[in-house]
């Protein structure tokens, strides 16, 4: 069963996450999404969205990851960080259409896009990693530093609080909010306009603008303590407790 779908809307490559259970990222979803991104070469722009009403992605698949050995978790973590970098560094414009919740690892993927459109409603947006006893991956924090500035990024990550669409619009993490029924059409329309500009000029501007953030992203990966904290006693207790709560709901 495919977890990701792709189609063309004129010059726009539309990539849709479709993993029931809130598009939780596990190794297979990361791998599939990276594969679909590679297939967008030649597209004028990319729209990244979800097939699940009310959800873009709730983050990582904790019940699956909690069973991983350090070696398995290291492999997943590397692939996930590679995915985020690929989205952030893609030459073509990337517009994320968020039909609802984008939490933790889901919000990180959305933040790597050039622009974000969110649906009106009860969708929540936040970085909840701190509640599990781990920081936002050091490299991924650079995406938020670039998008909303260091102070706002620190507050979002250190509080672990979820914000409404109106609140993330206020801090500049999303570019617009609107009716859910119009979300995809508006995102594709915006991507189509971006696809009409000079592709080489756009790529050069984007590369120049993000050069510092990408250099910081790559540098941060060399001195990252995320896995040490993930396998620390505090985080492991918190992760097990959350997994138990999630299992009781199913």
**DSSP letters along 127-187, please?**
--GGGGT--S-HHHHHHHHHHH-HHHHHHHHHH--EEEHHHHHHTTSSSEEE-GGGHHHHH
Tokens for 72?
């398995």
The CA distance from 2 to 113, in Å, is 23
Q: What are phi and psi of 189, to 5 degrees?
A: -60, -45
Which whole number is the average pLDDT over 5-32?
97
Burial (CB < 10 A; 0-12, 13-18, 19+), residue 19, is buried
Q: What is the pLDDT of residue 227?
A: 97
Query: First-to-last CA distance in the chain?
Result: 21
Q: How far is CA 16 from CA 5, 126, 147, in A?
A: 5, 21, 23
3-state class of 35 per DSSP? helix
- So what's the pLDDT on residue 250? 65
Residue with tokens 């938020």: 144
40-86: per-residue pLDDT in tens?
A: 989 999 999 999 999 999 999 999 999 999 999 999 999 999 999 99
Please choose, from the candidates 65, 221, 78, the residue with its C-alpha nearest in 3D space to the C-alpha of residue 141: 221
CA 234 to chain centre: 25
Query: What's the mean per-residue pLDDT of the chain?
Result: 97
Q: For the chain, list the domains and their CATH numbers.
A: 4-195 (3.90.226.10)
C-alpha distances (whole Å) from 112 to each of 13, 219, 234, 250 are 17, 17, 29, 31
pLDDT band at 225 (very low <50, low <70, confident <90, very high): very high
Query: Do residues 45 and 13 make contact, with C-beta atoms less than 8 angstroms apart?
Result: yes
Split at pLDDT 50, 70, 90, the class of 21 is confident
| pLDDT-above-70 percentage for the chain | 100
Token duo for residue 6: 């792709």
d(CA 36, CA 34): 5
Name 157's Cβ contacts closer than 8 Å, sequence gap at least 6.
Answer: 127, 129, 130, 135, 136, 141, 144
In this model, does residue 249 exceed pLDDT 90?
A: no
Strand order in the sheet with 100-103: 54-57, 100-103, 124-126, 162-164
């Amino acid at each position: 069963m495919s977890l990701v779908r792709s189609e063309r809307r004129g010059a726009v490559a539309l990539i849709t996450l479709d993993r029931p259970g809130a598009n939780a990222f596990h190794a297979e979803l990361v791998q599939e999404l990276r594969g679909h991104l590679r297939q967008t070469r030649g597209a004028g722009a990319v729209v990244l969205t979800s097939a699940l009403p009310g959800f873009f992605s709730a983050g990582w698949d904790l019940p699956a990851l909690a069973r991983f050995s350090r070696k398995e978790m290291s492999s997943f973590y590397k692939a996930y960080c590679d995915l985020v970098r690929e989205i952030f560094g893609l030459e073509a414009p990337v517009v994320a259409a968020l039909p609802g919740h984008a939490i933790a690892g889901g919000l990180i993927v959305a933040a790597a896009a050039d622009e974000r459109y969110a649906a009106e409603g009860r969708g929540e947006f936040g970085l909840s990693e701190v509640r599990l006893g781990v920081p936002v991956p050091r490299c991924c924090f650079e995406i938020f530093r670039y998008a909303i500035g260091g102070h706002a990024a620190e507050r979002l990550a250190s509080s672990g609080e979820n914000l409404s669409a109106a609140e993330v619009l206020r801090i500049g993490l999303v570019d617009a909010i609107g009716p859910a029924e119009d979300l995809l059409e508006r995102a594709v329309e915006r991507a189509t306009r971006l696809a009409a500009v000079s592709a080489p000029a756009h790529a050069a501007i984007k590369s120049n603008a993000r050069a510092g953030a990408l250099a910081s992203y790559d540098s941060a990966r060399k001195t990252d303590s995320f896995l040490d904290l993930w396998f620390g006693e505090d985080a492991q207790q918190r992760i097990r407790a959350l997994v138990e709560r999630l299992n009781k709901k199913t």
